[in-house]
Amino acid sequence: MTPKSQPGLGRRLLRNPLAVGSVTVLLAIVLAALLAPVLTSWDPSQASAREILLPPGGEHLLGTDSAGRDILARLLHGTRFTLLGAVLVIGVAFVIAVPAGMIAGYFGGRIDAALSWISDLLMSIPNLVIVLAFITVLGPRTTIVMLIFGVLFAPGTYRLTRSATRAVRRELYIDAAQVSGLSDLRIIRRHVLRRVRSPLMIQASIAAGVAIVLQSSLDFLGVGDPRDPRWGQMINDAFLNIYRAPLMILWPGLAIGITVAALALLGSALRDEIEATSSRRGRSARVRPQAKPTDPAEGLLTIRGLRIAYGEVEVVHGVDLSVQPGEVLGVVGESGSGKSQTLFAALGLLSPGGRITEGAAWVDGQPVAWPGSPDSAVTALRGRTIGYVPQEPMANLDPSFTVGHQLVEPLRHHLKLSRSQARLRALELLKRVGIPDPERTFSAYPHQISGGMAQRVLIAGAISCSPRLLVADEPTTALDVTVQAEVLELLRGIQKDEGMGMIVITHNLGVVADICDRVAVMQNGQVVENGSVRDVFARPQHSYTKMLLASTLEGAASRVQLDSEAAR
Amino acid sequence: MFVFLARRLMSGFVLVAVVGSLTFVTMSLSGTDPVRNLLGENATQEQVDARAAQLGLDRPLPERYLDWAVSAVQGDLGTSWVNNASVSQVIGQRLPVSLSLVIASTLVTALVSVALGIAAAVRKGFLDRLVQVLAVAGYALPNFWVALVLVSFFAISLRLLPATGYTPLTTDPGKWALGLVLPVAALAIGTIASTTQQVRAATVDVLEHDFVRTLRSRGLPSRSIVGVHVLRNAAGPALTVLSLQFVALLAGTVVIERVFALPGVGSMVVSSATAGDLPMVLGIVTVMVVVVVVVNLLVDVATGWLNPKVRAR
Amino acid sequence: MSAPLLQIKNLMVDAPGRRWRQPHHRILHGVDLSVGQGQTVGLVGESGSGKTTIGRVVLGLFPHTSGEVRFDGQPMPARRERGAQVQAVFQDPYSSLNPAMTIGDILTEPLLAARWSRTDAQARISELLDRVAMPAGTLRRYPREFSGGQRQRIAIARALAREPRLIVCDEPVSALDLSTQARVLDLLIEVQRDTGVALLFISHDLAVVRRISHRIAVIQSGRIVEEGEVEQVADDPTHDYTRRLMTASPLPDPDRQAERRAAWLELTRTTKE
């Protein structure tokens, strides 16, 4: 069985100019290290009292240092030590951290707590200082210093591995593998390792850069092994002669800079390509801005010929919708039908990358959205004329602020209420949406209230400035059935009391039957049927509507009936 | 909140004890090697032994450890092997220098990174690309090299700022500040680069939350959405990053103090390490860990205060 | 009648406290439940009721505090043997298939873990794909190339690989669109008729459970409040909670829904008083 964890990652990298560029530079650096004796005939440690601090040019291409040694030769030979050191550091860090991180992330519990504590401990020690402490005792032995650096680098890799493993651990396919009878070791090998691999590749390239910088810091301080040519030592030499030969500082700095930058860019190219699979839709289509539409529109909300595209992909293909004051419209369809996108577009709330390419929307006869329309066309109406109730109640309250704060903010902004007036009004609203103890909920944080409660709070927020149109996007989908019934009852009551127009976006035909006057059925970005709920449900015209109504399970044959039919 | 703090305090105390003890024990396990390093390659075995006895290294390890630990808790970190100076006194004189360098760099990092990171995440486009380039540059150029370039340009060529040296705050605040400009710039450039990246990532993450869309649907101006809600939610991750950067900055003083000839603990640890002055190095390590623990504690309090789930406990 | 295939007796489950020394929090308060050979038992309840926990305990994914889980009259075997007898289909068809593996690798995994030879495993999985009505070309493709309903078919094929006697289905259709839901339920019924596998079907949706189950158990706050034959529980419930569940779920017919809503309002009014 050939593992194909990232199909085409290699090929994708070949098409990424940043990746190709950085890999080319790194290959050149490795070659320079390997071929150092061939590339220059000078001995990097051969001192010459007569050729001290020669300027670049002539026999010594980059000049000589304070001991008369050829700078180019020292640079090329120094590459070897730099690369070897980096490989050693990364090797040690990975050998320690990857298994530890996978164990901690997979099993959790006490072993996780213990390993994470050790990792935190190592992280709070300033790395250069502890290495200097070891040098005090052991003397400047490169290999040992690199081993210690490796240990000090382990926490970063450990944290990364652990969190990636924890993320995989939550996936249901790990549960499925356990149920299939796979041993934990086999699950880690087959499922966890694959997922941890790509973040570790990024981590390796970035950590290698940091290792190179730290290693040269030590050499710069003069505590590294003095026998070999080192980039850090060369900077130290330049530092000591900065008044006599200021140019000398340039070469080793460039060497370090180029090597580390190439590693960093490789890491970022890897990240781009690995993460690209999940989010490729960010690029937005180019839209020719059009003039503000001048044709009049009646009704509370009117949408005409609306087309929406993400990148090059059109997701809504010319939709017409309208709502009259005091009317409840249901927009029903399955996932991907474009029902939410259509209304987000009218509210100016499309996700980044989404654009209206044709058509327009009017609220109260005022154009609010058209191709290239400015956000200002609709901001003034949001909150005041149009209220919005979202789908996932818990995700739609800011976890860092109290419920009260989030209710008071728009009240003060739109209605210019004083702090105490806004507070009173917010408490009234909480009472209106049926919250038993408004004072307590007012000062609660979102995590302290239930999902049903949160949805009531969001409804309170949506109606706080008495809008004339309420747009509810799947307002009950995330709720339990019993809570759903309560929230529908609440929406119905508020709609009647305020005489608002309302749009309910839903996939549930029962919700439409419960609360809507009219319904628009959407499929693949188009409205396929539109009419009064009673007519459409009793006499569906379009085959898609018929199919939807036929697949509903409420009132369909039960298992017992199915079995007796099959027996016949 | 109180329980949370008490736990953090305990864990910080244990951390100092563990690191101090581990360093002491590892350093003592190598027997008389440190003394040989101290006296140089040419010392005879007799000289080494005599000096070891004089320093009390012939006593059993547990006894020496207990001595050290008891005095350390009382604030006495022993005497230097090189010049018999009190380690605590030397650190007491030098720590303010390093701390002013590190704290100033942390503040500069925090201000610049938060402003740049949020702006890059919200505005995107040119600014975003600039931040990416800056990140690679700040990460690829070693801080001591940047320091040297800054010195040769601002101090040697332009003669605008002092190249080296330190003026205590109490002597002349103006000179103190001027003397810190170049070291802080050199030290902070790397941390600014990486912190900005992380603040940017945290902000992008917050902006993708559903509640941002809901806030916009309420008609709030984006200035207040970013300035109040996004900032507050990105502050936690940013603080955590800063506390890690603080440790990196502390390590960075080792190099930067040497370039600018600042009389802090960073330059002291280098010269003590080269001279083989074990008690001095041990003392500096211990004090630095204490500083880190205190800073982590402050950061924990701040993040706890920012996170209502922790505050509610 | 012989002993039931799965028998749960007085099952108690505690969730460990989040932090050290924090008291345990009881999720299940003594649950009794049994599933007969070739039978479907629907377990219906709302979020936080403990229905998923029962499934996870049966699958060995969550430890129980006390009580008994017996399979075929014996204590539930350990992971390796259990794999041959008890399988699972999970809620989220996107997370239950490893995105980095081909469908072929995903399906052969349980068989290879059970030491099947590669050729036998290959033969078995083509048979399985046929069984769940997926084309043969499926094997070399990746999960992301399939829709939610197709992935759930693949997950069912994986569950069937070792011819288990019980499949725990944890909300297997709740992430699917309405039209796909019905088709996946039909597939499960068909599979059950052909293979005689028993199903423990966990769902929040009474209508879904009514479609596929022979018996239904209703769970509320970690206790089974009503249990019985499908039509009795789903169409004529006796317990208040079950009646609330039934009347709370809206019908796709404005007139009948108006009646149902009135019944629900009446019920909430009486239970609150």
Instruction: Give the chain A residue whose CA is nearest to the CA of B287.
Output: A125
Could you read off the pLDDT of A394-448 as tens digits, one per residue? 999 999 999 999 999 999 999 999 999 999 999 999 999 999 999 999 999 999 9
What residues of A are in contact with residue C155 (Cβ under 8 Å)? 176
What residues of A are in contact with residue C204 (Cβ under 8 Å)? 480-481
Query: What is the rounded distance in angstroms from the CA atom of residue A262 to the CA atom of residue A117?
Result: 34
pLDDT of residue B30: 64
Least-confidence region, from A530-544, B92-106, B169-183, B248-262: B169-183
Phi and psi at A6, nearest 5°, equal -120, 80
Which of C40, C101, C161 has its CB closest to that of A559? Answer: C40
pLDDT of residue B137: 86
3 state SS of B312: coil
Could you read off the pLDDT of B30-50 as tens digits, one per residue? 655 667 777 777 778 888 888
* Nearest CA-CA distance, residue A335 and chain C, Å: 7
Query: What is the rounded distance in angstroms from the CA atom of residue A367 to the CA atom of residue A303?
Result: 10
Q: Cβ(A341)–Cβ(A315) under 8 Å? A: yes
Q: Is pLDDT larger for residue A249 or for residue A326?
A: A326
Amino acid at the residue B233: N
Residue A38 pLDDT class (50, 70, 90 cuts): confident
Mean pLDDT of all residues in B197-201: 91
Residue A458 pLDDT class (50, 70, 90 cuts): very high
Quickly tell me which residue has 């932090």 as its tokens. Answer: C19
Segments making up each domain of chain C, as ranges: 6-229
B51–chain A Cβ distance below 8 A for any pair: no
Query: What is the rounded distance in angstroms from the CA atom of residue C117 to the CA atom of residue C110?
Result: 12
pLDDT of residue A139: 73
Residue B124 pLDDT class (50, 70, 90 cuts): confident
What residues of C are in contact with residue A556 (Cβ under 8 Å)? 207, 211
What residues of C are in contact with residue A183 (Cβ under 8 Å)? 79-80, 113
Mean pLDDT of all residues in A63-76: 83
Q: Cβ(A94)–Cβ(A202) under 8 Å? A: no
Put simply, the answer to whether A481 touches C182 (Cβ < 8 Å) is: no
Q: Evaluate whether the domain defined by B87-312 bears CATH number 1.10.3720.10.
A: yes
pLDDT of residue A282: 44
Provide the whole-model pTM: 0.87
pLDDT of residue A438: 94
- Kindly tell me if the per-residue pLDDT of A1 is higher than 60: no
Amino acid at the residue A9: L
Q: How far is CA C163 from CA A392, C84, C111, C171, in A?
A: 39, 7, 11, 21
Q: Cβ(A263)–Cβ(A26) under 8 Å? A: yes
Residue A96 pLDDT class (50, 70, 90 cuts): very high
* Nearest CA-CA distance, residue B248 and chain A, Å: 6
A253–chain B Cβ distance below 8 A for any pair: yes
A243–chain B Cβ distance below 8 A for any pair: yes
pLDDT of residue A268: 85
- Kindly tell me if the per-residue pLDDT of A281 is higher than 50: no
pLDDT of residue C22: 61
Instruction: Give the chain B residue whose CA is nearest to the CA of A398.
Output: B211
Query: What is the rounded distance in angstroms from the CA atom of residue C167 to the CA atom of residue C76?
Result: 14
Q: What is the CA radius of gyration of chain C?
A: 20
* Nearest CA-CA distance, residue A113 and chain B, Å: 13
Which of B137, B229, B289 has its CB closest to that of A398? Answer: B229
Which of C179, C212, C251 has its CB closest to that of A334? Answer: C179
Put simply, the answer to whether A485 touches C248 (Cβ < 8 Å) is: yes
| Range among A508-517, B46-55, B158-167 with highest mean pLDDT value | A508-517
Give the CATH H-level superfamily of domain C6-229. P-loop containing nucleotide triphosphate hydrolases (3.40.50.300)
Put simply, the answer to whether B141 touches A380 (Cβ < 8 Å) is: no
Put simply, the answer to whether A253 touches B224 (Cβ < 8 Å) is: no
Q: Which helix (DSSP H) or strand (DSSP E) does residue A101 occupy?
A: helix A71-107
B223–chain A Cβ distance below 8 A for any pair: no
The CATH T-level fold of domain A81-278 is MetI-like fold (1.10.3720)
A564–chain C Cβ distance below 8 A for any pair: no
The 3-class SS string of chain C reads: CCCCCEEEEEEEEEECCCCCCCCCEEEEEEEEEEECCCCEEEEECCCCCCHHHHHHHHCCCCCCCEEEEEECCEECCCHHHHHHHEEEECCCCCCCCCCCCCHHHHHHHHHHHCCCCHHHHHHHHHHHHHHCCCCHHHHHCCHHHCCHHHHHHHHHHHHHCCCCCEEEEECCCCCCCHHHHHHHHHHHHHHHHHHCCEEEEEECCHHHHHHHCCEEEEEECCEEEEEEEHHHHHHCCCCHHHHHHHHHCCCCCHHHHHHHHHHHHHHHHHHHC
Mean pLDDT of all residues in B118-141: 86
* Nearest CA-CA distance, residue C32 and chain A, Å: 23
Alpha carbon A88 to its chain centroid, in Å, reads: 32
Residue A4 pLDDT class (50, 70, 90 cuts): very low
Instruction: Count other Cβ atoms within 10 Å, centred on residue C91.
Output: 20
Give the pairing type, strands C223-229 and C215-220: antiparallel
pLDDT of residue A280: 41
Could you read off the pLDDT of C96-125 as tens digits, one per residue? 999 889 999 999 999 998 889 999 999 999
- Kindly tell me if the per-residue pLDDT of B58 is higher than 80: no
Which of A173, A480, A553 has its CB closest to that of C47? Answer: A480
3 state SS of A233: helix
Which of C101, C230, C252 has its CB closest to that of A549? Answer: C252
A30–chain C Cβ distance below 8 A for any pair: no
A156–chain B Cβ distance below 8 A for any pair: no
Interface of B with A in 261-280 (CB under 8 A): 266, 269-270, 272-274, 276-278
Segments making up each domain of chain B, as ranges: 87-312
Determine the residue among C91, C140, C180, C210 to mutate to test chain A binding: the one whose Cβ has the most chain A Cβ atoms within 10 Å: C210
Residue C150 pLDDT class (50, 70, 90 cuts): very high
Q: Is pLDDT larger for residue A116 or for residue C273?
A: A116
Could you read off the pLDDT of C31-69 as tens digits, one per residue? 999 999 999 999 999 988 999 999 999 999 999 999 999
A376–chain B Cβ distance below 8 A for any pair: no
Query: What is the rounded distance in angstroms from the CA atom of residue A263 to the CA atom of residue A270?
Result: 10
Could you read off the pLDDT of B244-300 as tens digits, one per residue? 999 999 999 999 998 898 999 999 999 998 888 888 998 999 999 999 999 988 998
Q: Which chains touch C (3 or more CB pairs under 8 A)?
A: A
Which residues lie below 8 Å from residue A17, measured CB to CB, with a gap of 6+? Answer: none
What residues of A are in contact with residue B144 (Cβ under 8 Å)? 217, 220, 235, 239
Which of C100, C205, C206 has its CB closest to that of A195? Answer: C100
Put simply, the answer to whether C95 touches A562 (Cβ < 8 Å) is: no
* Nearest CA-CA distance, residue A399 and chain B, Å: 8
Give the pairing type, strands C6-15 and C166-170: unpaired
Mean pLDDT of all residues in B197-220: 92
pLDDT of residue A488: 95
Mean pLDDT of chain B: 86
pLDDT of residue B72: 86
